[in-house]
Chains A and B, each alone.
Chain A
Amino acid sequence: MSEKKLLTIAELEDKCVDIRSDLLNFIYRIGMGHLGGELSIVEMAVALYYKYLNFDVMDPHKEGRDRFILSKGHCSETLYTIFSDLGAYTQDYMVEHFENLDQYKFGMHSNRKKCPQIEVSAGSLGHGLPIAVGYALGARYRKENYRVIVMIGDGEFDEGTNWEALMAGGHYQLNNLTCILDKNGLQMTGTTEHVMNIDPVADKVRAFGWEVIEIEDGNDMAQVCAALDHLPERDYAKRAKPTFIISNTVKGKGVSFMEGNHKWHGGGIGEEDLKTALADVAKMRKA
C-alpha cells in the first residue's frame, strides 16, 4: 500500500482539510473545475479512499480491488487530488499533464485509459449506475469478492438511465453494489427542488428494491463513517438488496462564498478568491 490507512475520525477529518486545500490550489493552477460539487464530495471520497476501499493507487489494476466509479465525472479533480496525496502523482505532474493535448493524463472529465486509478471514463451524466450494475453482475459471474461503489449527483439523478439501472439492481439483488447519492441540493442553474425535484428520493429508491441509508450531514466524517460501516460484507454469492446511501451535503463545502451558491458549479478560481478560500478551509482544521 502507498500509505497507511487512516482509521480514526480525527485523522480522516484532518485529511479532508489537506485535500480541500490541495484541490483549491490545483483548480487555481489549471484554471478550470467544478469546485461546488468537488468540495461537497470530499468527506465521502476521503472516507472511501483512506479507509473503506480495498484499493491501492500505486497498484490500481490489482485483482480483487473494490471498484469505485465516479459517475459525476466533472468532479474528477477531487479524485486526482486524492491520488496525488496518496503518492501516485505530484501536483506539478498533474498540472503539466492536465489537458495538454496528446500528452494529457488528466482532464476535467476523467479518462480511465489515461489515468489508471480511474475505473470508468466519465463525464456524460447518468452512465455510472448502469455500468456499476454490469460490474456487480460481472463480479458475481466471475465469483470475485469486491464491492462496486458508484457515486452520482442529485442533478444527475434526473437522467432516466439511473432509474433503469435502479430497477435492474433491485431485480438482480446485487448485494455487492452500493450507490452513493451526493445530495448537495444544487445543480447548474438552481436548486434541484426548483429545477427538477427528485424527492422523496428515499421512498422512490426503496420502492425499486434497494436498502436506503440516509446521512443527515454528508460533510460530517463521523456520520459518513457510520453509514459506510453498514455496507454489506463482500460476498459475491449473496442475493439481497443493493445499498443506496443518500449523503446530504453542501455544495462548495468549506468555502464561505461558495457554500450553497450554484454559481460555483463550474469554472476556475482567481488569486484573491483562492486566498479567502484557503483561509476558510484552514479554519476547518480541528486542533
Chain B
Amino acid sequence: MAAKTTYDFDMMLSNAREAYGEELYKMACEGKDFVFTFSDNVAPSSSAGKLLKEFPERCFNFGIAEPDQVGASAGLALSGCTVFSQVFGPFLPLRAADQIHTDIAYNDVKVRLIGTHSGVTAGGGPTHNDIADLALYRAIPNLTVVVPADAAQCCKFIRASMDYEGPMIIRIDRAGSPNVYAEDYELTIGKAIETLEGTDAYIISCGSNLYECLMAAKMMKEKHGSSIGVLDMHTIKPLDEDAILRVAQKTGNIVTVEDHSINGGLGGAVAEVLCEVSYKGNFRRVGMPDEFAVLGSTDDIYHYYGMDRDGITAKLEEMLRL
C-alpha cells in the first residue's frame, strides 16, 4: 500500500491497447496456452496483429458480430480453453450485454473480455463512447472487473489472469497515458494501491485518469500546499472497501474520478460504501454528467467536463474551500 510513484513520470506515452497485444504475443511465445477471439478492428500492423500472424490456429475473427463473438468465446472456454477476447468500446457492454450476463458470467467461464476504447477515448461521438459499461458490469454476479492505470499494469493483469478463475473484464482506453509507476510492484486483483499518500483529501480513480489525478495532486501541492492522496482502484469488482474506508476516515474528503458516467460507475460504488457506514465527510464525483458527450478530442472533452487536472483541481478546491 506504500506510495509507488513520484511526480517524475516516464513521459513516453504508454498504450495499453498495444500493450495487451504485445503481452499476449509474448505469452504465446512462452508456450502459454490460450486462444484469442476478436472483432474486425485488430489491425494486422498492431501488436495483436503479430499474434494473429504467428499463431493463427488460436486466433478467431468474428467480424462485426459482438454477441456471436462473446457467445462463441464462452463455448471456447467450455471446451477447455482460456480465452482472451477483444471488442471495441461500447459494442462489448451494450451489444453483447446478454452474452456477458448469461454466456460468460452465469456459465462462469474463463473468458477475459478486453474492452478497448473505454469512456470517451474513442472519439467519434456518443455512438462510440463507452460510458455505461461499469454500471452494467457492477450488477452482474461472478464478473471481476479491472481497469488498468497504464500499459504496464495492463500487462500485469493480462498475465495474472491466466491463473485466475472465472470471467474477467479488462477495460482499457484508446491511447493510454504515461506509465505512472516508477518501479515494479506487486499487483493483487481486488486490492487498491495507494499510489500517493495524502493527509488532506484522497482522489479515488482508475484507468488512465489516474495520471491526471496525480497531476492534480501535484498542482494542489504547488498552489495550496495541500497533501492530496491518490488511490488506484484498479479493480472495480470486487471493490476494495477497506481501502476506501481507510482513506475516508483518514481525511474526510473524497473525490472519485473516472471516464464513465457519474451514475453507476466507480463514483457510485464508492458512494455506496461510504453511505453504508454513515460517512459524514465530503464527497464529490468527477466523470461524465448524465448527458451524451459533446464532440471533440479526448483532451478537450476531458477539459470540458472537468475530468482533466484543471477540473479535478477545481473540484478539490471547491470541496476544500480553497
Q: Please report A residues at the B interface, Cβ cutoff 8 Å.
A: 67, 111-113, 119-121, 123-124, 126-127, 129-139, 141-142, 144, 160-161, 164-165, 167-168, 172
Give, as a whole number of angstroms, the nearest-CB distance from B306 to chain A: 40
Cβ–Cβ contact B75 & A134, under 8 A: yes
Distance A124 CA – B98 CA, assembled complex (angstroms): 8
Contact residue among A123, A135, A144, A160 (Cβ-Cβ distance under 8 Å from B76): A135
Cβ–Cβ contact A131 & B103, under 8 A: yes
Chain A residues with Cβ below 8 Å from B273 are none
Task: List 18 A-B residue pairs with CB atoms under 8 Å apart, sorted by A's residue number.
Answer: A111-B106, A120-B75, A120-B78, A129-B71, A130-B70, A130-B71, A131-B71, A131-B75, A132-B75, A134-B75, A134-B77, A137-B60, A137-B72, A138-B75, A141-B57, A141-B76, A164-B67, A168-B62
Give, as a whole number of angstroms, the nearest-CB distance from B160 to chain A: 23
Cβ–Cβ contact A134 & B102, under 8 A: no
Cβ–Cβ contact B99 & A134, under 8 A: no
Chain B residues with Cβ below 8 Å from A67 are 78
Instruction: Decide yes or no whether B35 CB sits under 8 A from chain A.
Output: yes
Chain B residues with Cβ below 8 Å from A138 are 35, 75-81
Give, as a whole number of angstroms, the nearest-CB distance from A234 to chain B: 14
Identity of the chain B residue whose Cβ is nearest the Cβ of A129 in the assembled complex: B71
Identity of the chain B residue whose Cβ is nearest the Cβ of A112 in the assembled complex: B107
Distance A81 CA – B71 CA, assembled complex (angstroms): 27
Main SS class of interface, B: helix
Cβ–Cβ contact B67 & A161, under 8 A: yes
Known: A112-B107, A120-B107, A121-B107. A133 touches B81 (CB 8 A): no
Give the interface size bracket for B toward A: 20 to 34
Distance A136 CA – B57 CA, assembled complex (angstroms): 14
Give, as a whole number of angstroms, the nearest-CB distance from B94 to chain A: 15
Identity of the chain A residue whose Cβ is nearest the Cβ of B65 in the assembled complex: A164
Distance A167 CA – B65 CA, assembled complex (angstroms): 10
Distance A138 CA – B71 CA, assembled complex (angstroms): 13
Cβ–Cβ contact A161 & B68, under 8 A: yes
Cβ–Cβ contact B80 & A134, under 8 A: no
Chain B residues with Cβ below 8 Å from A131 are 71-72, 74-75, 78, 103
Distance A161 CA – B65 CA, assembled complex (angstroms): 8
Cβ–Cβ contact B102 & A141, under 8 A: no
Contact residue among B58, B62, B78, B107 (Cβ-Cβ distance under 8 Å from A141): B58
Contact residue among B70, B78, B102 (Cβ-Cβ distance under 8 Å from A135): B78
Known: A164-B68, A165-B68. A141 touches B35 (CB 8 A): yes
Chain B residues with Cβ below 8 Å from A139 are 79
Instruction: Decide yes or no whether B108 CB sits under 8 A from chain A.
Output: yes
Cβ–Cβ contact A127 & B57, under 8 A: no
Chain B residues with Cβ below 8 Å from A120 are 74-75, 78, 107
Chain A residues with Cβ below 8 Å from B60 are 137, 172
Instruction: Decide yes or no whether B73 CB sits under 8 A from chain A.
Output: yes
Give, as a whole number of angstroms, the nearest-CB distance from B68 to chain A: 4
Distance A132 CA – B75 CA, assembled complex (angstroms): 6
Cβ–Cβ contact B108 & A134, under 8 A: no
Distance A141 CA – B82 CA, assembled complex (angstroms): 12
Chain A residues with Cβ below 8 Å from B71 are 127, 129-131, 133-134, 161, 165
Give, as a whole number of angstroms, the nearest-CB distance from A36 to chain B: 23
Cβ–Cβ contact A127 & B102, under 8 A: yes
Known: A138-B81, A164-B67. A130 touches B107 (CB 8 A): no
Give, as a whole number of angstroms, the nearest-CB distance from A275 to chain B: 38
